[in-house]
Chains A and B, each alone.
Chain A
Amino acid sequence: AQSVAQPEDQVNVAEGNPLTVKCTYSVSGNPYLFWYVQYPNRGLQFLLKYITGDNLVKGSYGFEAEFNKSQTSFHLKKPSALVSDSALYFCAVRDRAGFQKLVFGTGTRLLVSP
């Protein structure tokens, strides 16, 4: 069965510094990987995805993620954090052979301080 681990409940970073939110996955076969962001009292917003091709994926709001097959990781990164990036971030995986349902990690709260 597919699964996703987000080892950090919370990540704190100062505005202007680079940020990384970690994600590792487990799936049989090649995965589809996703990052979503959730602001308070809102639904999930899609940030980026890895389906195939380049291991470095660029997404919305300046975020990017690197797919590493050997380490089964898909860490979310941004070169320079903004206070407005403070939110709850979810990594999700879908087995390509599956029925398109997503399995989500537990979420990581990102706090960017001014």
Chain B
Amino acid sequence: SQKIEQNSEALNIQEGKTATLTCNYTNYSPAYLQWYRQDPGRGPVFLLLIRENEKEKRKERLKVTFDTTLKQSLFHITASQPADSATYLCALDSGGYQKVTFGTGTKLQVIP
């Protein structure tokens, strides 16, 4: 069956360190993958999109990689700050009627 896996356990890191979040998927062949940020009580906000023919994408302190062989995307936040604390969702092109399927998200806590 199709599955998107994000670490359900919260990730706690020290301010200034690099946070790395993982998104693994099975039985999908996505043409692209997106990352969203969600703060408590708010809707998700788009951060980055990476296509299957792109290995890496950067935006300011954010970096996303996409390995279609490993069926994995890594999301990095360098020089993390307490303001980066949030839940991060990956979403991938699932084709068919649904178009985009979201993972359950990983909660990141940056400790000052």
Q: Does B associate with A?
A: no
Instruction: Give A residues with C-beta under 8 Å from B.
Output: none
Instruction: Give B residues with C-beta under 8 Å from A.
Output: none
